[in-house]
């Protein structure tokens, strides 16, 4: 999720010596990050809707029409992915409000600041996520 612009906008959180994990400052940092990404995604979705409404033309040439339909399908897939990400962001903000953010849903250990910086919507520690992905690969075979 985070790209270069997000990293510039939100430099990685550097905890003070002896700072408690998921302190108020850390929670505020991640809340700001999540809300900023959510606003950006919502703006992208809104712009896409307006662009698609403005560009809704019926091309006479079948190749042009097929190209336009392909472009629209790609845009819609991207927006659907972003809609799902907004849902995950809302869930992460809910975990912050509930005091559960930053801890693994599976084993309860700290997820870690570096992992949360890379994926602020993470709900599993790296070990549990790795095990989950291994299970998924085995089932897919």
**Where do the H-state alpha helices sit in the chain?**
4-9, 24-54, 62-98, 113-118, 126-140
**Helices 62-98 and 24-54, axial angle in degrees (round to 10):** 160
Give the list of residues 6+ apart from residue 62 with CB closer than 8 angstroms, or none: none
Ligand-binding annotation for 104, yes or no, is: yes
Ligand-binding annotation for 107, yes or no, is: yes
Q: Which residues pair with 110 in a beta bridge?
A: 103
Ligand-binding annotation for 31, yes or no, is: no
Locate tokens 């905890």: which residue? 15
Q: Residue 90 is encoded by which pair of tokens?
A: 């809302």
- Cα torsion angle, 88, 94, 100, 101, sign: positive
Ligand-binding annotation for 125, yes or no, is: yes
**Residues in the chain, how many?**
141
* Helix, coil or strand: residue 56: coil
Q: Which residues are annotated as a binding site?
A: 104, 107, 125, 128
Please state the residue numbers annotated as binding site for Zn(2+). Answer: 104, 107, 125, 128
């Amino acid at each position: 999720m985070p790209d270069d612009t997000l990293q510039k906008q939100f430099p990685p959180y550097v905890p003070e010596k002896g700072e408690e994990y998921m302190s108020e400052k850390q929670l505020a940092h991640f809340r700001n990050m999540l809300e900023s990404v959510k606003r950006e995604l919502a703006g992208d979705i809104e712009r896409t809707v307006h662009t698609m409404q403005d560009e809704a033309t019926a091309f006479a040439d079948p190749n042009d029409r097929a190209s336009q339909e392909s472009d629209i399908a790609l845009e819609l897939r991207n927006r659907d992915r972003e809609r799902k990400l907004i849902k995950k962001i809302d869930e992460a903000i809910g975990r912050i409000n509930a005091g559960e953010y930053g801890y693994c849903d599976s084993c309860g250990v700290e997820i870690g600041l570096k992992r949360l910086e890379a994926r602020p919507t993470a709900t599993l520690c790296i070990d549990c996520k790795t095990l989950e992905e291994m299970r998924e690969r085995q089932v897919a075979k």
